[in-house]
Structure 1
Amino acid sequence: MHVDVRKADDVIIVDLDGQLVSGIGDELLRDVMNELLAEGWSKILINLSQVERIDSAGIGELVAGSRLATRFGTSVRLLQVTGRVRQVLELGQVLPLFHVYDNEEEALAAFADDAAAAASGE
């Protein structure tokens, strides 16, 4: 598993590449999420477009990371969940727990819309 972290405006994008499975990707994702939360980021977008495979440990880490983030007031959303990964997340009934976007522009716009709504008191 390879992870790249980049910034787009006030959103941190975590690009995952490889297998999000026990002993490989799950621990790496946990470490990255913990670091981002410790740094105080409030908007995290996890890009799954290059994830080839996910297992129960990977699913567990996505859910646990999202729950922890919520306690910190951080929003975690998913980007480009495709193919086999989408099937596994659907079977595990995980997708309804997240906002899921098909492209980065749509996701960034949604974060911005949510921030504008919060600022105006909606």
Structure 2
Amino acid sequence: MSMKVETRSYGSVAILDLHGKLVFGGGDVQFRQAVLEVLEDGHKNIVINMADVRTIDSSGLGELIRSKVTAASHGANVKLLHLVPKIYDLLEVTRLIGVFEIFDDEAEVIPSFWDETRNDDAPEDG
């Protein structure tokens, strides 16, 4: 199964829902393109929802790091959502766990960006 990326927006937050394998030749390019597209659209806050990613290889790990670096060069931030235990453990073993903020609840990750910007990007109630 190749990687499928669906993009959703909530205010200034882009949520990339990944489906499939984040591996060399099977998702890395699609993922990279999706990150670039949301940055080009002006999003400064990116959530990578990995609930439906069961396999990741060194190329996929590299793309996660690249997404963080590319986002930072655009003044944006990347956070991870819904890591399955196997991928969480891999990030721990590779010592990449501290590179990303990781969340288990979409309702928590979205406002975490607003806390960083003193609610400047929070949607108005109304």
Instruction: State if a TM-score over 0.5 links the two structures.
Output: yes
Q: TM-score, normalised by structure 1?
A: 0.91
Once residues 69 and 59 of structure 2 are traced to their aligned partners in structure 1, the CA distance between those partners, rounded to angstroms, is 15
Q: TM-score, normalised by structure 2?
A: 0.88
Q: Which runs of 5+ in 1 are unaligned?
A: none
Matches within 5 A, 1:1-122: 1-116=3-118
Once residues 9 and 38 of structure 2 are traced to their aligned partners in structure 1, the CA distance between those partners, rounded to angstroms, is 11
Once residues 101 and 115 of structure 1 are traced to their aligned partners in structure 2, the CA distance between those partners, rounded to angstroms, is 18
Once residues 23 and 95 of structure 1 are traced to their aligned partners in structure 2, the CA distance between those partners, rounded to angstroms, is 24
Q: Please give the root-mean-square deviation of Cα atoms over the aligned residues, in Å.
A: 1.5
Q: Which runs of 5+ in 2 are unaligned?
A: 122-126
Relative to structure 1, the CA distance from residue 28 to residue 94 in structure 2 (aligned partners, 3 Å threshold; closer, same or farther) is same
Moved more, 68-77 or 30-39: 30-39
Once residues 91 and 23 of structure 1 are traced to their aligned partners in structure 2, the CA distance between those partners, rounded to angstroms, is 23
- Following TM superposition, the consecutive aligned residue runs of length 4 or more in structure 1 with deviations greater than 2 angstroms are none
Compute the displacement of 1:118 (Å).
Answer: 7.1
2:80/2:102 contact within 8 Å kept: yes
Local SS of the residue matching 1:40: coil
Local SS of the residue matching 1:96: coil
Compute the displacement of 1:117 (Å).
Answer: 6.4
Which structure's residues are more often helix, by fraction? 1
Amino acid at match of 2:13: V
Relative to structure 1, the CA distance from residue 7 to residue 118 in structure 2 (aligned partners, 3 Å threshold; closer, same or farther) is closer
CA offsets, 1:51-71, max 9 Å, x none? 011000000000011101101
2:15/2:47 contact within 8 Å kept: yes
Relative to structure 1, the CA distance from residue 10 to residue 117 in structure 2 (aligned partners, 3 Å threshold; closer, same or farther) is closer
Once residues 33 and 111 of structure 1 are traced to their aligned partners in structure 2, the CA distance between those partners, rounded to angstroms, is 17
Amino acid at match of 1:112: W
